[in-house]
Structures are given as structure tokens and as C-alpha cells.
Amino acid sequence: MRFSAPEAAFAGLAFTAAVALVVWLESLARRDASLIDRFWPVLIAGAGLVYLVLLPNAPLHEPRGLAMAVLALLWGLRLALYVASRNWGHGEDRRYEAIRARNQPGFGLKSLYLVFGLQAVLAWIVSAPLFVGMAGARPLGWLDIAGGALAAFGIGFEAIADAQMSRFKADPSQRGQVMDRGLWRYSRHPNYFGEACVWWGLWLMALGAAGLGGAWSVVSPLLMTWLLLRVSGVRLLEADIGHRRPAYRDYIARTNAFVPGPVRRPPK
């Protein structure tokens, strides 16, 4: 049974909301609102699968829809497993501890809308290129090739950056040091740069599917880039790191924050 485009869009939102609700209930038992981070990619990729199954122009054999679904699944599964393994056994992330402290008493109930409901809606918005790409009926073209290549590059770039950081943190001799090797030599947040590339690439594929009629889905990469740069990513992580780790100030002086670039000479 195929749904209309509005019905499929609503089903995607219903999926993200249902998963977020289940994770919220588990977070109450564990007293750990940061569980949502492990399911953030599941919300987005899962919404994409909903569109793939329900949209009338997205039969399971249609190449663009399958390609976008595969890219979203590769991105989502890798990121979910990485975040889960990184946070396993560490309790609630300090960012969520701060949110909890600011919203007492009754944070458990408040977190339903402050954290879980909000992220369900944001994930649904981020999934917009998947919706547009799977609803469109245009033949494959150069935008699909360029977008697919950019998204695949982003997945690989992000995975390499995360693997390099994991190895660095696992080495006891590096404790207290600044990671400035590999991709991290050229960007202070190469994983975030890769993440942004994924969503700009998928948006290009959405344009290939629907032309300018799908341009509105640019809200997805714009939102993701804004989150990475100004909200939960670069800005938040570096808010006080220069005070906690003075060596990081030198790293900031010589290394781009986001887009990889040549190493700069520190000012004298």
C-alpha cells in the first residue's frame, strides 16, 4: 500500500516521535538523557526508510531511492554504533547534566519536550532531502552523481576522523595532549565537516529528483550545519576548552575550526 506524500511525511514524523518516546522512557530508568544521542542517527535514517516504503514514487527497485537509503543507513548505523561505543559505561554526558541542572525540579518530565521531542522534530526536518529524493520522479542525472559522491565522501571522512580520535584517546601516553594528527591536523572538527558533507550531498540528490521544486529541503543541510557550528558542535565543545586545556589555544591559532585547510603559523 502506497501513501500520499503528505501521509508519508506525517508517517516519518510519527516514526521519529515514537522512537524518541521509547528512548525517553528508558532515559528515566537510567537517569541519562544523553541516550538520545545514540538514537539521533536512527531517527533520521529510519524516517528515510519510512519514505522509501510508503511514497508512491519510491518503489524498492528505484535506483535513486535505494541509493539514498543505502547512504542514509551507512551513515546512521556507523554513527549510532560509534556514539554508543564511545559513551558506553560513562553515564550521562556533561552537556545533558548541565541541561538537567538548569531545569530542576522535574527534569524527567521536562526532558520529554526539551530534549526528546525537540530532537524528534529536528531529525524529521533533517530527513527532508530523503523525503524529496524518494518522492521525485526525474531520471538520474549529474546532480545525483555529484550528491551521492559528496555524501559518500562525507561518510568516509567522518568515519576516518572518528577512528583517528578513538585511537588517540585509547593511547595512555596521549592523556592530556591535543589531538592534532591525521585529519585533525587540518581541521579541529573534521568529523563535523564530514557530517555536513553528507547532508549537502543528499540535498543535491533531492534537487536531482525534484528540481527547484525540491530546493526547500535545503533547510536540512542548513539546519545540520548550524547545529554543528553554533549549537551542539563546535561552539559548545570549545566554549571553555581553552581554559581547561591551555594547549588547545595554540591548536586553535594554527588550525581551521571546520573546513580543512593548511596549517597556519601561530602569531608571534
Q: Is residue 201 within 8 Å of 148, Cβ to Cβ?
A: yes
The amino acid at 49? L
Chain segment 112-168, per-residue pLDDT in tens? 999 999 999 999 999 999 999 999 888 899 999 999 999 999 999 999 999 999 999
Cell match 528540481: residue?
211
| CA distances (Å), origin 64, targets 39, 181, 199 | 25, 37, 15
Q: Is 169 a residue whose pLDDT tops 60?
A: yes
- Higher-confidence position of 93 and 233: 93
Average pLDDT of the chain is 90
CA 226 to mean position of chain CA atoms: 11
Region 90-107: what's the mean pLDDT? Answer: 90
Grid coordinates representing 140? 538520474
Number of Cβ within a 10 Å radius of residue 93 = 17
Mean pLDDT across the stretch 168-175?
88
Q: How far is it, in rounded angstroms, from Cα 250 to Cα 240? A: 14
* CA neighbor of 189 nearest in space, from 204, 197, 98: 197
Tens-place pLDDT, residues 246-255: 778 888 888 9
pLDDT at 26: 96
Over 60: is that where the pLDDT of 61 sits? no
User: 26-30, 219-223, 245-249, 261-265: lowest mean pLDDT where?
Assistant: 245-249
pLDDT at 59 exceeding the cut of 60? no
Q: What is the pLDDT of residue 95?
A: 84
> Binning pLDDT at 50, 70 and 90, where does residue 57 land?
low
pLDDT of amino acid 241:
66
139 or 17: which leads in pLDDT:
17
DSSP string, the chain: ----HHHHHHHHHHHHHHHHHHHHHHHHHHT-TTHHHHHHHHHHHHHHHHHHHH-TT--TT-HHHHHHHHHHHHHHHHHHHHHHHHHTTS-S-HHHHHHHHHT-SSHHHHHIIIIIIHHHHHHHHHTHHHHHHHH--PPP-HHHHHHHHHHHHHHHHHHHHHHHHHHHHH-GGGTT----SGGGGT-S-HHHHHHHHHHHHHHHHHHHHHGGGGGGGGHHHHHHHHIIIIISSHHHHTSSHHHH-THHHHHHHHS-SSS--PPPPPP-
Tell me whether residue 157 is exposed, middle or buried, using C-beta atoms within 10 angstroms of its C-beta: 0 to 12, 13 to 18, 19 or more: buried
The rounded distance, in Å, linking the Cα atoms of 265 and 254 is: 6
Q: Which grid cell sits at 235?
A: 561552539
pLDDT tens figures, 118-130: 999 999 999 999 9
Confidence of residue 190 (pLDDT cuts 50, 70, 90): very high
Q: Which of 133, 154, 121, 115 is nearest to 25 (CA)?
A: 115
Q: What is the mean pLDDT of the segment spanning 2-10?
A: 88
For the chain, give the percent of residues with pLDDT over 70: 92
